[in-house]
Chain A
Amino acid sequence: QITLKESGPTLVKPTQTLTLTCTFSGFSLSTSGVGVGWIRQPPGKALEWLALIYWDDDKRYSPSLKSRLTITKDTSKNQVVLTMTNMDPVDTATYYCAHTIPRRGAFDIWGQGTMVTVSS
């Protein structure tokens, strides 16, 4: 059974860097085709795709946020980490991590999400 869980701060100040960790079980990020991505959703608004990392360390980023995002993986710890720099109140959202269908970008298993508020 595949599960994912997001963790990180619930409150960050403007201009700070956000670091979120996705801890997963039931699969290995060293298995060919596997990927883990990050998606966010501001309150009452639509989903926004952020970033994705594959088993071979191939990394993909949202073009509009690429300069602020870094995604990394720690295969030994079964974790994927997303950092977002220069946080702003508009970045207030629920952040989800999710597992992809092998060799596809579709997310078949999602974490529960973690709410991050940006405020001074």
Chain B
Amino acid sequence: QSALTQPASVSGSPGQSITISCTGTSSDVGGYNYVSWYQQHPGKAPKLMIYDVSNRPSGVSNRFSGSKSGNTASLTISGLQAEDEADYYCSSYTSSSSEVFGTGTKVTVL
């Protein structure tokens, strides 16, 4: 299956809110409430930020929130901070009983 589509880059100033989109199809994002979001800093392993569309694992800041509408999921980072600068990937369960990642979005804090 094809990777989920994310914008290549999103930027914002400290304190602002940004939203990253993740577009799939009815066979993945649109068909299941199993969308996850990962943060990856350079040279590091990814870190789970959101699962099941909008659930935050213990220890993840409540500045991170997730939502979904139709075939598009979104990750919103509010009160943007310097340490939020990283790559972000969405993933979704698929009708093939597997998962698929997104193309990735580089977040820049201006």
Contact = CB atoms under 8 A, between A and B. Distances in A.
Interface residues of B, number: 25
Contact of B38 (A47, A60, A104): A47
B91 A49 contact: yes
Contacts of B57: 101, 108
A108 B60 CA distance: 11
Interface stretch (A10-18, A61-69, A84-92): A61-69
Given A46-B89, A47-B38, A64-B1, A104 B101 contact: no
Contact of B89 (A47, A96, A104, A108): A47
Given A46-B101, A46-B102, A60-B97, A108 B48 contact: yes
A61 B98 contact: yes
B96 A106 contact: no
A106 B51 contact: yes
A107 interface: yes
Interface string A6-39: 0000000000000000000000000000000101
A112 B103 contact: no
Interface in A41-88: 46-49, 52, 60-64
A105 B101 CA distance: 12
B34 A105 contact: yes
A37 B52 CA distance: 17
Interface residues of A, number: 23
B45 A106 contact: no
Given A106-B52, A107-B46, A47 B101 contact: yes
18 contacts: A47-B38, A47-B91, A47-B104, A49-B99, A49-B101, A62-B98, A64-B1, A101-B51, A104-B34, A105-B36, A105-B91, A106-B34, A106-B48, A106-B52, A107-B38, A110-B46, A111-B45, A113-B45
Interface of A: 37, 39, 46-49, 52, 60-64, 96, 101, 104-108, 110-113
Given A96-B45, A101-B51, A104-B52, 17 more contacts: A46-B3, A46-B89, A47-B46, A47-B89, A49-B98, A49-B101, A60-B98, A63-B1, A63-B96, A64-B1, A101-B48, A101-B57, A104-B51, A105-B36, A106-B51, A107-B36, A107-B48
